[in-house]
Chains A and B, each alone.
Chain A
Amino acid sequence: MRILLAALSFLVLFTLPAAAQDSPIQKLLQQHRDLIEQSSRRTIAPAIDALRDSGLPAAQVVLEKWQGKELWQRKADGLFFFAERIDAQTYRLVDIATGNETATAAKDEIEQLKPNSGIRGMIGAALVQFQLTDPDPARRADALNAISRDAEPAHLAALRASIGAETDPDLRARKERLERLLTISYDEDPAARIAAIQSFAGDLGVDARAALNPLVATTRAVVSGNPPAAENLARVLEPGSEALPKDEAYALLVAADLAPPRINRDDIRAALAANIQNGRVGSVPVAQLDTDAARERAYAELAEAGIVPATATEAQVAEALASHTFYERYAETDPEITAAAAAALDDIALKVGLNQAADLTLDALSLASIYFLAAIGLAVTFGVMGVINMAHGEFIMMGAYTGYVVQQLVPDYTLSILIALPLAFAITFGAGVAMERLVIRWLYNRPLETLLATFGISIALQQLAKNIFGTQARPLTSPDWLDGALVINDVVSISYIRIAIFVLALIFLGLFLFIMRKTRLGLEVRAVTQNPRMAASMGINPERINMLAFGLGSGIAGVAGVAIGLYAKVTSELGQDYIVQSFMTVVVGGVGNIWGTLLGATLIGFLQKGIEWLNPSNTLAAQTYMILFIILFIQFRPRGIIALRGRAAGD
């Protein structure tokens, strides 16, 4: 019996791998084993094509698993398996042909195949023909994604064939759009292509432009005489014009072997160095070769003696340029198609331009709302009370860290944000009141010293945050419903988190106006702002009002901190990044007026985005010029955009 069992198990051990080895798909993979192990996009194509065209039932599954990094290879015999993790060290091996479990293996006996995203794209493209008609809509969507990323001519027919049977309206719309895009690139019939091109006139999609632009891409060329008639000529270029400077034109000639190259300074120097004889080059002593003129003279002598090639003179260059025609040609040979594509792109360009302006406006509005949110608390303390609070940025930071701590305790992101917002307000309100009571109220008559004392608090708070939370940035993650962006079209989009900040800024504007205009507290704050002594004699306690106003301003900073932490980062230096901008916002807007702060934030936001748009490769320059503008602006409106008038202006 025992012997029988042993024999059986021996048999099982032996036959199963043998079966695995024998399946046609395993054979196919083994055939391409080298390529698969090499795992490079440049060489992998035959393996993927063979699987795709094999007609084997398991091909689709194998390709999908391979794409999903679920295909493993046993080191001992090189066979491929699907593997499932049992625990950290053991894996269950599944036969790729049958899907049956075959064996288990220790982790170091097998190796995972890790196709890079280039290969995954190719596998995706190969899977298209299987997936386009797959009953699972998610797979069909995958196929469409694959087509839009790596389209191949063969996809066109498969796509057309699948449209009729498509039941999902969204997918059907996508398929139809993709069909038109592929028609532009791959259809044989020019009329169909032109029709497809024209259907995209005014379309904002990046994919449409991506399909159209290659049609109108041009290359430069040069011939002596007229351009060949067979080519689709874009335009003739005049050497020396802006489109084709003379140097570039001559370089084209040299590249086309139509003219001898010019000899540059380095070549001259090397030629001279190679021909030094008795301390002289030609008749020129080496010691005198420290000017370009002397070097050219020496080189000319060498050229005359036939030792080095003569340089092309200006006259020769001019003649060569004049005797040739320079032009740009389209890669696409059909002029009707290029004309249609150019017309469609012209149409698109105008709309894209308008939409870009809209997008820029949205960005600017969003930036303005962030600045506004950061500055609104400062507008209360600085504007209303005339107190400079350099620690304002640290209150923003405290708010952000509050958000982080709450998120550590309450794992639900939505709930934690809902808790963090009021909690941040409460904590920074408390901190603000404490600071006002302990420090600021002693310094109301010394505004410059308030500035310095609050600065002292600022550096202490910052370092405290570092000591408590460490120097690493802390994660503050927004809830799922704030992930992603509101996409209006491929040009205009804005992330939900920015919309949320915008809404928050509006809420605080409303809240602030309500408190100031409609509540007793607001009335008293305004009274104390205008004339504390008169207010005091009317029975208002200015100390209490100052304390509450300061707390309010700090509390708003805390809430702003949660919002800013959500969209950027939470570090101890978070506040510093916003403090100067916040001051600018308040000062530019005009002290003591919430509308001024709003205008100031808007101005700064739009200005910064505007300068960034003018100089897209250097964001730092945008910030520099914005500050310079603000410095100049204050020269002309020292009291800001909205200046208080009359008695309230005070001094």
Chain B
Amino acid sequence: MRKSFVARNPSVLIFLALLGVFTLAVTVLGEGLGVGLISTSFVKTLGKTLCLCLVAIAMDLVWGYTGILSLGHFAFFGLGGYMIGMWLMYARTELIVAESLAQAEIPPTPDEIRDAIGTQIFGVVGGSDFPAVWTFAHSLPIQLALVVLVPGLLALVFGWLAFRSRVTGVYLSILTQAMTLALALYLFQNDSGLRGNNGLSGLQNLPGAADVPQSMVSIWFFWASAAALAIGYVVAAFVVSGKFGSVIRGIRDDEARVRFLGYSVEGYKLFVFTLTAVIAGIAGALYYPQAGIINPAEIAPIASIYLAVWVAIGGRGRLYGAVIGAAFVSLLSTWFTGGQVPDLPLGIYTVKWVDWWLVLLGFSFVLVTLFAPKGIGGLFDLLTGRHGPDRHGAALGPDQGSLREKEAEQ
């Protein structure tokens, strides 16, 4: 008798309840609808953090559950942002241009309107013509579809090529890193048609909603991010809970054995890789309108590595771990770099956290990897009294996937 989905995943209900309470609290305390205890900029930060949690869930699926250490998921995140950003820029500029041209004596031709929008958008980077990638920028539904399709397709093609030729382990990590680097370098070029290093900006201004204050817009996006995170969490929990979940965990632990059991390992990997890319794309599409600007530096390899760091610190192989890691580290990072943390006088030297935060993060990350591979999520195991096998021992069997000495003793 199979237990129900919820019964197998008690964390889902708890998570959804907590997220609901959190959303309600922020709404009440925020400036848009509530008492204004939380500033709009902090609401935006929280909304962005929710998006980061969502992409961390995607990372956990692909790394924590399937064992593919992708160092390129921020490429998909960024692509999602670019897709929605194109529409936001185009539509906002179109309104401005239409208003300005309406004052002319002769009504503008469609070509003139398009040229004027082009000049407005690309004038700052020294161009005026619309590149081909902007073909659908006028249409919200198409761009929304592209938010899902572009990262999905890229992941599908890249994944198919990589998994087909059985690139695994660290090679795959390096390869995904190369992918995101190539994409970032490509977008850095002005010739790529997405405004080069400047990227797309002014995304926080919704077209046609110029009168709505940002305090309101930020709450809307916060809700949308919370909803996306909730759905993403449930989908991810569903994916990892059934037989499918067992297979991908099997792939993580010993790919060869799963293959010999007759499963199409490549197919499973490709599905997870593409699905997580789509989730990352959606997270990005919600993140960047809150950040206000997207540019190629966002998808530099370092961003994807930070993503792995969040998941590792939060605890791999458990969805709430990824969420906790992303929220904890990114908020802590905001706090430390914000300059609000008091300096730490050590007598001869005063520690300024703006300077030392990265050193602290780097070393604490090493410590977590060495001594607490389960991350913050491991604390929940302490609470529930669960013990995992100690994997420091040498392998019992002939290869690295086999049982270790200490496990065998238990």
* Candidates A455, A461, A638; contact of B171 at CB < 8 Å: A638
B174 touches A583 (CB 8 A): yes
B69 touches A463 (CB 8 A): no
Rounded to whole Å, the gap between the CB of A224 and the closest CB of chain B is: 36
Within 8 A of A (CB), among B332-369: 355-359, 361-366, 369
Residues on the A chain within 8 Å of B90, using CB: none
B355 touches A466 (CB 8 A): yes
Query: A442 near B: Cβ within 8 Å?
Result: yes
Residues on the A chain within 8 Å of B109, using CB: 290-292, 295
Query: A460 near B: Cβ within 8 Å?
Result: yes
* Candidates B174, B188, B365; contact of A587 at CB < 8 Å: B174
Query: B167 near A: Cβ within 8 Å?
Result: yes
Within 8 A of A (CB), among B379-402: 391-392, 395, 399-400
Given contact pairs A273-B106, A457-B366, A460-B359, A580 touches B301 in the complex (Cβ within 8 A): yes
Interface centre among A463, A636, A651 (most CB of B within 10 A): A463
Given contact pairs A463-B359, A580-B178, A624-B182, A453 touches B370 in the complex (Cβ within 8 A): yes
Rounded to whole Å, the gap between the CB of A460 and the closest CB of chain B is: 3
Query: A445 near B: Cβ within 8 Å?
Result: yes
Rounded to whole Å, the gap between the CB of A623 and the closest CB of chain B is: 5
A461 to B362, CA, bound (A): 8
A637 to B109, CA, bound (A): 54
Query: A447 near B: Cβ within 8 Å?
Result: yes
A464 to B357, CA, bound (A): 10
A86 to B119, CA, bound (A): 60
Give A621's nearest chain B residue, CB to CB: B189
Residues on the B chain within 8 Å of A464, using CB: 359
Within 8 A of B (CB), among A444-497: 445-449, 451-453, 455-464, 466-467
A459 touches B361 (CB 8 A): yes
Given contact pairs A290-B109, A451-B69, A452-B309, A467 touches B191 in the complex (Cβ within 8 A): no
Given contact pairs A289-B107, A452-B309, A464-B359, A623 touches B185 in the complex (Cβ within 8 A): yes
Residues on the B chain within 8 Å of A620, using CB: 185, 188-189
Tell me what chain A mostly uses at the interface: helix, strand, loop, or mixed: helix
B370 touches A439 (CB 8 A): yes
Give A287's nearest chain B residue, CB to CB: B107
Query: A6 near B: Cβ within 8 Å?
Result: no
Query: B9 near A: Cβ within 8 Å?
Result: no
Query: B181 near A: Cβ within 8 Å?
Result: yes
Interface size class of A (residues with CB under 8 A): 35 or more
B106 touches A624 (CB 8 A): no
Query: A286 near B: Cβ within 8 Å?
Result: yes
A459 to B69, CA, bound (A): 19
B305 touches A448 (CB 8 A): no
Residues on the A chain within 8 Å of B399, using CB: 651
B105 touches A286 (CB 8 A): yes
Rounded to whole Å, the gap between the CB of A51 and the closest CB of chain B is: 46
A446 to B173, CA, bound (A): 14
B373 touches A449 (CB 8 A): yes
Residues on the B chain within 8 Å of A290, using CB: 106-110
Contact string, B180-212, partner A, CB cutoff 8 A, digits 1/0?
A: 011001101101000000000000000000000
Given contact pairs A620-B189, A627-B181, A631-B182, A456 touches B369 in the complex (Cβ within 8 A): yes
Query: B410 near A: Cβ within 8 Å?
Result: no
* Candidates B161, B356, B400; contact of A635 at CB < 8 Å: B161
Contact string, A618-639, partner B, CB cutoff 8 A, digits 1/0?
A: 1011011001101110111010
Give A276's nearest chain B residue, CB to CB: B105
A638 to B168, CA, bound (A): 9
Rounded to whole Å, the gap between the CB of A641 and the closest CB of chain B is: 14
Contact string, A565-599, partner B, CB cutoff 8 A, digits 1/0?
A: 00000000000000010011001000000000000
Rounded to whole Å, the gap between the CB of A503 and the closest CB of chain B is: 30
Residues on the B chain within 8 Å of A463, using CB: 355-359, 362
Given contact pairs A448-B169, A457-B366, A620-B188, A635 touches B162 in the complex (Cβ within 8 A): yes
Give B188's nearest chain A residue, CB to CB: A620
Query: B8 near A: Cβ within 8 Å?
Result: no
Rounded to whole Å, the gap between the CB of A1 and the closest CB of chain B is: 70
A301 to B395, CA, bound (A): 92
* Candidates B169, B175, B358, B400; contact of A445 at CB < 8 Å: B400
Residues on the A chain within 8 Å of B181, using CB: 580, 627
Residues on the A chain within 8 Å of B370, using CB: 439, 442-443, 453
Query: A364 near B: Cβ within 8 Å?
Result: no
Query: A324 near B: Cβ within 8 Å?
Result: no
Give A386's nearest chain B residue, CB to CB: B170
Interface centre among A276, A456, A621, A638 (most CB of B within 10 A): A456
A448 touches B106 (CB 8 A): no
Contact string, B140-172, partner A, CB cutoff 8 A, digits 1/0?
A: 000000000000000000100110111101110
B111 touches A292 (CB 8 A): yes
Given contact pairs A272-B106, A445-B395, A634-B175, A453 touches B366 in the complex (Cβ within 8 A): yes
A587 to B169, CA, bound (A): 13
Residues on the A chain within 8 Å of B69, using CB: 448, 451-452
Contact string, B84-110, partner A, CB cutoff 8 A, digits 1/0?
A: 000000000000000000001111111
Residues on the B chain within 8 Å of A623, using CB: 185
A627 touches B356 (CB 8 A): no
Rounded to whole Å, the gap between the CB of A281 and the closest CB of chain B is: 8
Query: A388 near B: Cβ within 8 Å?
Result: yes
Query: A269 near B: Cβ within 8 Å?
Result: yes
Contact string, A418-462, partner B, CB cutoff 8 A, digits 1/0?
A: 000000000000000000000100110111110111011111111
Query: B179 near A: Cβ within 8 Å?
Result: yes
Query: B229 near A: Cβ within 8 Å?
Result: no
Rounded to whole Å, the gap between the CB of B346 and the closest CB of chain A is: 14
A156 to B175, CA, bound (A): 63
Query: B45 near A: Cβ within 8 Å?
Result: no
B171 touches A618 (CB 8 A): no
Given contact pairs A453-B366, A638-B167, A584 touches B178 in the complex (Cβ within 8 A): yes
A620 to B161, CA, bound (A): 25
B107 touches A286 (CB 8 A): yes
B358 touches A456 (CB 8 A): no
Residues on the A chain within 8 Å of B188, using CB: 620
B161 touches A627 (CB 8 A): no
* Interchain Cβ contacts under 8 Å between A and B, 30 examples: A276-B105, A286-B105, A286-B107, A388-B173, A388-B174, A443-B369, A443-B370, A448-B69, A449-B312, A449-B373, A452-B305, A453-B369, A455-B309, A456-B309, A456-B363, A456-B366, A456-B369, A459-B358, A459-B361, A461-B362, A463-B357, A463-B362, A464-B359, A580-B181, A618-B191, A624-B182, A627-B181, A627-B185, A635-B161, A638-B165
Seen from chain B, the residues whose Cβ lies within 8 Å of a Cβ on chain A are 69, 104-111, 158, 161-162, 164-167, 169-171, 173-175, 177-179, 181-182, 185-186, 188-189, 191, 301, 305, 308-309, 312, 355-359, 361-366, 369-370, 373, 391-392, 395, 399-400
Which 5 pairs from chain A and chain B are nearest by CB? A460-B362, A456-B365, A463-B358, A627-B182, A290-B107
Seen from chain A, the residues whose Cβ lies within 8 Å of a Cβ on chain B are 269, 272-273, 276, 286-287, 289-292, 295, 388, 439, 442-443, 445-449, 451-453, 455-464, 466-467, 580, 583-584, 587, 618, 620-621, 623-624, 627-628, 630-632, 634-636, 638, 651
Given contacts A457-B362, A580-B178, A624-B182, 8 further A-B contacts (CB under 8 A): A447-B170, A448-B169, A452-B305, A452-B369, A456-B369, A459-B365, A463-B357, A583-B177
